[in-house]
Amino acid sequence: MPEKTARDITFVTCTAPVNIAVIKYWGKRDNDLILPVNSSLSVTLHQDQLKSTTTVACSAHFKEDRIWLNGKEENINQPRLQSCLKEIRRLVRKRRSDGDTSTDVLSLSHKVHICSENNFPTAAGLASSAAGYACLVYTLSRLLGVEGELSAIARQGSGSACRSMYGGFVQWHMGMQADGKDSVAEQVEPESHWPELRILILVVSAERKPVGSTAGMQTSVETSSLLKHRAQAVVSTRMDEMILAIRQRDFSTFGELTMRDSNQFHAICLDTYPPIFYLNDVSRRIISLVHRYNHHYRETRVAYTFDAGPNAVIYTLQQHVSEFVQVVTHFFPPETNGGEFLKGLPVGSVSLSDELTRAIGLEPLPKGISYIISTKSGPGPQTVEDTSLHLLGPDGLPKTST
């Protein structure tokens, strides 16, 4: 329920999750509506470890729409932000013209103040814009009391944001319509479906990624002859196999498909002209480590996936987490006087057999990985009931700013 203060400001605060694709989205068929060239599928990560938080305040006294991201005021006229605001307001108008007056607590002419922050570094390749736009759209919808196809609105902020509108395992259907109405996200299975699934984020570098994904995928669409083939001939079969693997909790198939799809995405980047590189030598060493580890056990126990940056996201099952973390720590010895190396869900400690480290047989690379975040799958966006957690103060301005 939106909270009204003495100064007639209404506040709502929500959180939204990060998602990590296992069937990748790369390439738009419509740049304005953000319609993809292929469907994609992701796992929603738990918000206990990674989330965006957004407070939206609304008041008759506000003179203009404003937005603050991670403490810094940003330009509200950014086209994608405007798309989301416009689409949400259109949904409200439609609802009211349909005669539903239950939500008319707020005038559509009232301006909004938006304040958003992530509990993880932006632009570290952790899909911050997906969580951010999902959170914005969800918070606005709670404030204005609308429901409906919110994922199609989030999609217009940042394509993959539509997948952060649900928890668990989420497919973004590419859709066929020119207006994008059918390019929406759908939950394949909730997070409770596969409780043993674990996710480790291996943070390789917090440098800004060299080529932004928007510009990158645009160049790929224009220049890669392999991209079109992937979209038309590869993804659809792979999607069916992936959904089946998830339904059956078949980690071996899930893991192999995840790795193959990550590699194919980076292959498309390399086939782009000029080529785009997101993987670096540390990323490649992680890939090699994973294959050697799996080869040793003659089964796919861990799987990697990489987005538009060098960080690895590892999928595995609960029973393998502590050993694999130990393996990573062995082959990428952390900086001894750095911060904690392992964040997030606790991981038990085990000792490695010489046989295993010998079988992997890589040269250890000190400080190759900055830290690991241990997490699992979690729910979609949530409303924060504790009003003390609003990011905007009673005056409608950020409580903290930089």
| Shortest Å distance, C-beta 362 to its own copies | 12
| Shortest Å distance, C-beta 273 to its own copies | 5
Contacts to its own copies from residues 275-294, by CB under 8 A = 275, 277, 280-281, 284, 287, 291
In the stretch 289-328, what mask flags binding to its own copies with x, by CB under 8 A? --x-------------------------------------
Cβ-proximal residues to 57 (8 Å cutoff; 6+ apart), any chain: 9, 10, 11, 112, 113, 115, 390, 392, 396
- Please tell me whether residue 193 binds its own copies under the rule CB under 8 A: no
Nearer to its own copies, 81 or 257 (CB): 257
Other beta carbons less than 10 A from residue 211's beta carbon: 17
Q: Which of 273, 299, 318, 361 binds its own copies (CB under 8 A)?
A: 273
| Shortest Å distance, C-beta 259 to its own copies | 7
Beta strands in 208-359 (DSSP E): 302-306, 312-317, 342-344
CA distance 196 to 217: 34
For the chain, the straight-line distance linking the first and the last C-alpha, in angstroms and rounded, comes to: 30
Asked whether 380 and 53 are in contact (CB, 8 A), the reply is no
Nearer to its own copies, 184 or 231 (CB): 231
H/E element, 155 = helix 150-155
Picking from 123, 141, 125, 124, the residue whose alpha carbon sits closest to that of residue 54 is: 141
Nearer to its own copies, 57 or 279 (CB): 279
- Please tell me whether residue 79 binds its own copies under the rule CB under 8 A: no
Nearer to its own copies, 76 or 267 (CB): 267
125: region left, alpha or beta (phi > 0 left; psi from -120 to 50 alpha): left
Nearer to its own copies, 123 or 226 (CB): 226
Nearer to its own copies, 232 or 248 (CB): 232
3-class secondary structure, 264: helix
- 148 is written with which tokens? 């409906």
Q: Which of 76, 105, 123, 270 binds its own copies (CB under 8 A)?
A: 270
Q: Count the site residues for its own copies by CB under 8 A.
A: 27
| Shortest Å distance, C-beta 355 to its own copies | 21
| Shortest Å distance, C-beta 297 to its own copies | 15
The torsion angle over the Cα atoms of residues 139, 170, 17 and 284, rounded to 10 degrees, is: -150
CA distance 4 to 10: 4
Nearer to its own copies, 75 or 237 (CB): 237
Q: Which of 111, 145, 271, 333 binds its own copies (CB under 8 A)?
A: 271
In the stretch 243-262, what mask flags binding to its own copies with x, by CB under 8 A? -------------x--xx--
Question: Exposed, middle or buried: residue 74 (CB in 10 Å: 0-12, 13-18, 19+)?
Answer: middle
| Shortest Å distance, C-beta 252 to its own copies | 13
In sequence order, what DSSP letters do the residues of 97-136 get, joined into one string? HTT--TTTTS-TT-EEEEEEEESS-TTSSS-HHHHHHHHH
Q: Which of 105, 206, 234, 384 binds its own copies (CB under 8 A)?
A: 234
Q: Which of 72, 181, 229, 247 binds its own copies (CB under 8 A)?
A: 229
CA distance 233 to 252: 23
Report helix angle 251-271 to 213-223, nearest 10: 70
* Phi/psi at 109 (5° precision): -80, -10
| Shortest Å distance, C-beta 321 to its own copies | 22
User: Which segment (53-61, 62-70, 72-80, 219-227) binds its own copies by CB under 8 A?
Assistant: 219-227
- Please tell me whether residue 268 binds its own copies under the rule CB under 8 A: yes
Interface residues with its own copies (CB under 8 A) are 223, 225-226, 229-230, 233-234, 256, 259-260, 263-264, 266-268, 270-275, 277, 280-281, 284, 287, 291
